[in-house]
Chains A and B, each alone.
Chain A
C-alpha cells in the first residue's frame, strides 16, 4: 500500500517545491520569500522520508532530522537578518534591497 503510494508522496513533494519556487520568484515580501524557501526545504524533506521508507533504509530519515535541525538554526539567523534589514530600510520589499546593483551601490 505504502509502496504503491510512493508516487503520491513524490507528487506532493514536487507540488510543494514548485509552490515554494514560485513564491521565491514572484513575491516581493522578504518574509514570504523566506517562508517559500522553508516550503522548498520541507518538500525535499518529504521526499527524503518517503524514499527512505520505500527503500527500508534509515539514511533518509536521519537526513530529514538533520535538515529540520539546520532549518531551525537557519530560521533564527534569517529572522534576525530580516529584523536588521527592516530597521535599516524601513521596508520588507525585496526590490528595495539593491546593494548588489552597480548603480545603487555608488
Chain B
C-alpha cells in the first residue's frame, strides 16, 4: 500500500517527461493539438490528488507512518542512503494541499496559457515542479529532500524566465536562481555537517533524530543556522528575499503555484521537518522568529507603496511567510503549518484573481490603471473579496484563525516585541490588500473600455479556492470557539511547550487582531475608495524605493563581484595567466626551432649522427661486456 508514496512522486515526473517529449515532437515534427496536452496536464494532477487522499486515508487507519523503501541509493561500506519515501502526518498534510491547490492551478493554467506557443513546455515544467515538490515533502532523508529542493529551484528558474524573449524576465530568472544558490550553499553546508557529525549508518530523519544528541551543541547551532540560510533563500526571508518580487515576471499561474502556495513554504516545512534539531537549539529558534518578524514587517511596508498588482502580492507572500517563521522559530510548528495551509488557499486565490484581472485587461498590471472591475467580473470580485478578507484576518475567513494562532503563540511565548511587530504588520496587511482591492474593483475606471470577463475554466478554480479560503480555517478552530483544533491535534507529532493563555487573554488578543485588521481596512477605504485616477500616481520616498535595498545589494554584491570578475578577467587573466601560458608555449616553439636545426635534411649529417650513435653504443657495450 505504501508504494502509493512512490507513485505520487513518479506520476507527475512521468507526465512531465511525456509532455516534454510531446512538445518536442510537436515543434519539430508534426503539430499536436492543444487538447492532448490539456488532457495529460489535467489527468496527472487529479490522479496524484486521489493517490494523496488514499495515502492519507491509509495513514488514518493505522497508527504509524507509511514508509516505502524503493532501493538502496548509495552504499559506502557500512553506510547507506536509501531511496525511501516517508508518509507521516506532516508530509501527507503537505501533499494534500499541494496536490489540491496545485491541481486547481493546473486547471486555471490551461485557460491562462491558452493558445500560448509554449503550452506543452509550460506544463512539462509545471509537472516537473510538482514532482520535485512532492519529492521534497515525501523524502525520508535530507539527501532526497535536497534533490527535491534543487528541483523546485530549477523549475522556478525555468518558469520565471518562461517568456525568454524579454530580457528582463531572463534577468529575473537568473536573479532567483543565483539568490537561491546562495541559500542552497548554506543548506548544503548544513547537510554536510549533519552528515559528518550525525551520520551513523544511514542518513534519514529517523536515525538522525535518534543520534542528534551525540552532536556537540555549538556544532548543532551552526548546523541549525546553516540549514535556516537555505530556508531563507527558498522562503524569501531577509536578507535573501530580493528574488521573490522579481519572480513575478513569470506567467501568473507560476506565481500562484510556486511563489505563493507551495515552493516558498518549503523553508517552513524544512524547519518543521528538522524539529528534532531545532528543538535542541531554542536560541536559533528565537533568531529565526526575529528574522521572520522583520521580514513580515519589512515586506508589508514595501507593499503599501507598490503599484504592480503582482508585486504587491509577492510582498504579501513574503510577509505571510514571515509570520510562519515567527511561529516555527518559537517552536509552534503546527501553527506555522496551519498558516501554510490557509495561506496556500487564499494566496493562490489572490494570484489567480489577479491573473484573471490581468487577462481581462489585456495584460495591464498597474493597479492605478484599473478600476471598477466589479462590474466587468462580478464573480472574480466576490472571490477576491473573500481572499482579501482572509489575508487581512477578518473572521470567519481562513487567514484569521491561523494568523491569530501565530499571534497568540508570539504573545504567549513572552516575546512581546514579536507580537507587536505581528500586530503592526496585520494593520499594514489589511491596509495594502484593501488598497489593492479598492483600486482594482471599486472606484472609477481609468482607461479600459474593452475589458471582458474571463471564461469559466478560469473561474471554477477561483470558486473552489474561495470555498477553501472561507472554510479551511475551521479545520483549526481554537478551543475558544468550541472547536477542537483539528490541524493542531493532527500535526502534534512533536513535543511543544504549550503556551497557555487564559480564555480572557485570548479573547482580548483576538479582539485586538480584528481591530487591527479593521483599522487597516478603514484607512484604505478612506484613502482609496474614491481615488481619483486621473492624477497620475507618482510615488516617491524611501518606502516606494524598497528602502534602496536592491540598490544596496547592487553596490555591495553585484557591482563588487562584477568589478572583481573584471579585475580577474582583464588583469589577472590577461597579464598573469596569459603571459605564463603564452610564455611557456613560446618557449616550446623556440626550443623546437633550435632542435629542428638537426633535422636539416642533410643526408651526410644524418649519416654522421647515426654512425656517431652506433659508435657510442659500441663503446658502451665494449665497456660493459668487458
Residues of A within 8 A of B (CB): 21, 24-28, 33, 94-95, 97-102, 104
Interface residues of B (CB under 8 A from A): 596, 599-604, 606-608, 611
In the complex, residue of chain B having the shortest beta-carbon distance to the beta carbon of A26: B604
Q: Are B601 and A25 in contact (CB under 8 A)?
A: no
How far does the alpha carbon of A26 sit from the alpha carbon of B602 in the complex, in Å?
A: 11
Is A25 a contact partner of B604 (Cβ separation < 8 A)? yes
CB distance from B117 to the nearest CB of A (A): 55
> Is there contact, CB below 8 Å, between A99 and B601?
yes
Cβ-defined partner of B601 (8 Å) among A21, A27, A28, A100: A100
A24's contact among B596, B599, B602, B607, by CB below 8 Å, is which?
Answer: B607
CB distance from A41 to the nearest CB of B (A): 14
- The winner among A28, A101, A104 for most chain B CB atoms within 10 A is A101
Q: With A and B bound together, what is the CA distance between A81 and B175 in angstroms?
A: 76
Q: Is A101 in contact with B604, judged by CB distance below 8 angstroms?
A: no
A98–B603 Cα gap in the complex (Å)?
A: 8
Report yes or no: B608 in contact with A101, Cβ–Cβ below 8 A.
no
Rounded to whole angstroms, the CA-CA distance of A102 and B601 in the bound complex is 8
- CB pair A97 B599 closer than 8 Å: no
Secondary structure at the B interface, as helix, strand, loop or mixed, is: helix
A100 to B596, CA, bound (A): 12
- Taking a contact as CB atoms closer than 8 A, the residue among A25, A28, A97 that contacts B607 in the complex is A25
List residues of chain B with CB within 8 A of the CB of A27.
604
A residues near B607, Cβ cutoff 8 Å: 24-25
Interface residue from A21, A26, A95, A102 paired with B599 (Cβ < 8 Å) = A102
Q: CB < 8 Å: which of B596, B602, B608 contacts A95?
A: B602
B603 A101 Cβ-Cβ under 8 A: no
A99 / chain B contacts, CB cutoff of 8 Å:
601
Contact A97 B603 (CB under 8 A): yes
Nearest residue (CB) in B for A36 is B607
Contact of A100 with B611 at beta-carbon distance under 8 Å, contacts A24-B604, A25-B604 already known: no
Cα A97 to Cα B603 in complex, Å, equals 8
Contact A98 B601 (CB under 8 A): yes
In whole Å, how far is B433's beta carbon from the nearest beta carbon of chain A? 81
- Closest residue to A105 on the B side, CB-wise? B601
Rounded to whole angstroms, the CA-CA distance of A28 and B603 in the bound complex is 10
CB atoms of A104 and B601 under 8 A apart: yes
Docked pose: A98 CA to B600 CA in angstroms: 8
**Cross-chain contact of B604 among A94, A100, A102, A104 (Cβ < 8 A):** A94
In the complex, A23→B608 CA distance in Å? 11
- Contact partners of A104 in chain B: CB under 8 A: 601
Shortest Cβ distance from residue B488 to the other chain A in the assembled complex, whole angstroms: 86
Q: Which 6 A-B pairs have the closest CB atoms?
A: A101-B601, A98-B601, A100-B601, A25-B608, A24-B607, A94-B603
Q: Please report the C-alpha to C-alpha distance between residue A97 and residue B600 in the assembled complex, in whole angstroms.
A: 11
Shortest Cβ gap from B601 to chain A (Å): 3
Quote the shortest CB–CB distance from A85 to chain B (angstroms).
Answer: 12
15 sampled A-B residue pairs with Cβ under 8 A: A24-B607, A24-B611, A25-B608, A26-B604, A27-B604, A33-B603, A33-B604, A94-B602, A94-B603, A95-B602, A95-B604, A97-B601, A100-B599, A102-B599, A104-B601
Q: Pick from B596, B602, B611: contact of A21, CB below 8 A.
A: B611
CA distance A40 to B108 in the complex (A): 99
Shortest CB–CB separation between residue A77 and chain B, in angstroms? 17
A33: B residues at CB distance < 8 A: 603-604
Q: For the complex, what is the distance from the CA of A27 to the CA of B600, rounded to whole Å?
A: 17
Identify the closest chain A residue to B608 (Cβ). Answer: A25
Q: B600: nearest residue on chain A (CB-CB)?
A: A101
In the assembled complex, the Cα of A48 lies from the Cα of B604 at a distance in Å of: 27
The CB with the most chain B CB atoms within 10 A, among A25, A27, A94, A100, is that of: A25
Measured between alpha carbons, how far is A2 from B326 in the docked complex, in Å?
A: 117
User: Which residues of the partner chain B approach A25 to less than 8 Å between Cβ atoms?
Assistant: 604, 607-608, 611
Q: From the candidates A26, A94, A98, A102, name the one contacting B596 in the complex (CB within 8 A).
A: A102
| Chain A residues near B611 (CB-CB < 8 A) | 21, 24-25
**Whole-angstrom CA separation of A102 from B611 in the bound complex:** 23
Q: Could you tell me the distance between the alpha carbons of A24 and B608 in the complex, rounded to whole angstroms?
A: 8
Give the docked Cα–Cα distance between A16 and B601 (Å).
Answer: 27
- Which among A24, A27, A28 has the greatest number of chain B C-beta atoms within 10 A? A24
> Which residue in chain A gives the minimum CB-CB distance to B605?
A25
CA A28 – CA B601 in complex, angstroms? 13
In the complex, what residue of chain A is closest to B604 when comparing beta carbons? Answer: A25
Bound-state Cα–Cα, A34 to B596, Å: 27
- Chain A residue nearest to B607 (CB atoms) is A24
Q: Which residue of B lies closest to A95 (CB)?
A: B602
Q: Which residue of B lies closest to A99 (CB)?
A: B601
A16 to B603, CA, bound (A): 21
B599 partner residues in chain A, CB cutoff 8 A: 100-102
What's the least CB distance linking B437 to chain A, in Å? 82
Q: Closest CB of chain A to B187's CB: distance in Å?
A: 59
Q: Contacts A25-B607, A94-B604 given; 15 further ones with Cβ under 8 A? A: A24-B604, A24-B607, A24-B611, A25-B611, A26-B604, A94-B603, A95-B602, A95-B603, A95-B604, A97-B603, A99-B601, A100-B601, A100-B603, A102-B596, A102-B599
Distance A21 CA – B612 CA, assembled complex (angstroms) = 11
